[in-house]
Structure 1
């Protein structure tokens, strides 16, 4: 009887171990491919463009998730710890990564900041410039002098190219036997980004009006690359609300310079923009910061490249 109980105990223990393993998903030992976790859509697309079918790429944040508000769950951290490579955009976008590192064995899981070689724009410098633009004069800014870097680096195709190169280097380092494959795919995608960059340059080269008004201050890198000026209703976060003073300044600015369009995102943060547009009798159009694509957009085959082309079409109705 005692021997039987011992045997049952051993079987149950083995069953628990097996079930626990089943719940873990694919691990490095179960697949010859690199297991790569990416944070949100642009990072996922850039990684997929390089890796092709030589790696299993997972996007941590589900379609429709707001990246600014995201915090990883224990399950997410477990997924990351079982991957070969974890790739994120920047410490200024995924602010939680710094604390995550204490939970990850970096000898087992390589962590890549895809923007480590890119110079960030300080949001306060950007907003001071916009404030001067609104007031049409130099004056002291009410914004804090504390650095708060704008994380929307991928909206400049040149920055996107730099991110792709960094991702490619990491994949090659971790999987050198497929170097030629990764290099070929990297060059193909870089060529597409170069063409995108040229489309933007050509469109805005001789523009006389180079200012555009947005709901979300996400387009500083794009504006800087092409000599444009972004005037934003709110700040870096899409759900940030503007002060009454800024709304009043914007109303004055819109009337003074005959602004006819406000660019918004298709979410609740557009309410204030719609209200301002109604009060000033101007149009509202979409401009996508590509922080994530919806499930429908992904199913319809939309990509970073296609959405950037859509943004160009929208911008050239104002910047002309």
Structure 2
């Protein structure tokens, strides 16, 4: 994370005095509020999917920092006191409530005027480890994870359509936070929404005809994606991709794999593949990566959201026997 320099109170007071005349001529908050020395809007994003939106839509008018460093599992993030203190300096904060409890608490305390919860920009749904199946309700909840209001699933960014809805809301909120650059934010939002629309088309056509609709994954993050494209997600243990599945769940997944002609057990880049390999060894299946895109690292199959999602599509097409 790029650390913003704390400004001494005396310097702040001096700046306020020097700017008194210009500020008094304006109504409401200053357009320069929350901007850095280069005149860019100081944006804080909670983790990669929010960072990507801020960078794509903000373009040259924003300076984006992220609370979750590359390689860190977002769900387990703990913020340092310095990070919490710096939140209050931001001109704009973009986060997704329900993914990172520590971040939710810190942002609430920061009290920044332009704070946007991406979960409010689209409709959240409840998903369990199985989408489209009724294989044992005991596996329907992701263990150890706060999914926000009424047990809703926060992984909206893995559905290009919902992610596009969020992008539109982020664009509108950036226009409000920085009206001087509103036209560019609208232009950038339109460009991103088009890219996400093309991605949706690629997924819809690529997964329309497959030998099976069922995929098994260590991380039950793909409920929205599965629902969007008519697939069935089977999570091994819930939210923790490194925990060991129970013998009963292994047996259940063996039965599902045989019945639905499953070929592959998916794991993710930010966690060990131990669980996936254990199940695959017990069931005679292959393993592959299905990236929940909670962070980009040098192990990611792509340099940004679009590229990694395209890699996810290729992996799904192969695993599901796309025709």
Q: Which residue in the other structure is 2:56 paired with?
A: 49
Match of residue 317 from structure 1? 318
Residue 19 to residue 312, structure 1, CA distance change in 2 (3 Å)? farther
Mean Cα displacement is larger for which, 212-221 or 256-265? 256-265
The answer as to 2:111 corresponding to 1:105 is: yes
What CA RMSD, in Å, does the superposition of the two structures yield over aligned residues?
A: 2.9
User: Take 1:293 and 1:231, find their aligned partners in 2: how far apart are those partners?
Assistant: 24
Match of 1:170 in 2: 173
- Matching residue of 1:9: none
Counterpart residue number, 1:219: 222
Structure-2 residue corresponding to 1:118: 122
Give the C-alpha shift of residue 201 in structure 1: 0.7
1:199 to 198, 202, 212: 202
Match of 2:255? 252
The structure with more radius of gyration:
1
CA positional deviation for 1:270: 1.9
Distance in 2 (CA, whole Å) between partners of 1:243 and 1:19 is 60
Q: Match for residue 303 of structure 1?
A: 304
- Taking the aligned partners of 1:143 and 1:204, their CA distance within structure 2 comes to 24
**Is 1:189 aligned to residue 192 of structure 2?**
yes
Show the counterpart of 2:95.
88
Unaligned runs of 5+ in 1: 1-15, 22-26
User: Is the partner of 1:150 in helix, strand or coil?
Assistant: coil
Change (3 A) 1:113 1:244: same
Q: Is the 8 A contact 1:86 1:112 kept in 2?
A: yes
- Shift of residue 174 of structure 1? 1.0
TM-score, normalised to structure 1, is 0.81
Question: Which consecutive segments of 4 or more residues in structure 1 shift more than 6 A?
Answer: 18-21
- Please tell me whether the aligned partners of residues 88 and 94 of structure 1 are also in contact (alpha carbons under 8 angstroms): no
Q: Give the Cα separation in 2 of the matches to 1:144 and 1:164.
A: 28
The structural deviation recorded for 1:18 is 9.1
Q: 1:32 aligns with which of 27, 39, 50?
A: 39
Q: Give the drift of 1:315.
A: 0.2
Using the alignment, how far apart are the partners of 1:129 and 1:59 within structure 2?
31
Structure 2, unaligned runs of 5 or more: 1-6, 13-33, 143-148
2:218·2:242 contact (CA, 8 Å) conserved in 1?
Answer: no
Q: How far apart are the structure 2 equivalents of 1:131 and 1:243?
A: 19
Structure 1 residue 142 displacement after superposition: 6.9
Q: Could you say if the C-alpha distance between residues 182 and 205 of structure 1 is closer, same or farther in structure 2, counting changes exceeding 3 Å?
A: same
Give the Cα separation in 2 of the matches to 1:38 and 1:144: 27
**1: CA distance between counterparts of 2:104 and 2:154?**
15
Give the counterpart of 2:266 among 260, 263, 268: 263
Q: Structure 1 pair 283/297, CA: closer, same or farther in 2 (3 Å)? A: closer
| Pairs aligned (count) | 289
Give the TM-score, by structure 2 length.
0.80
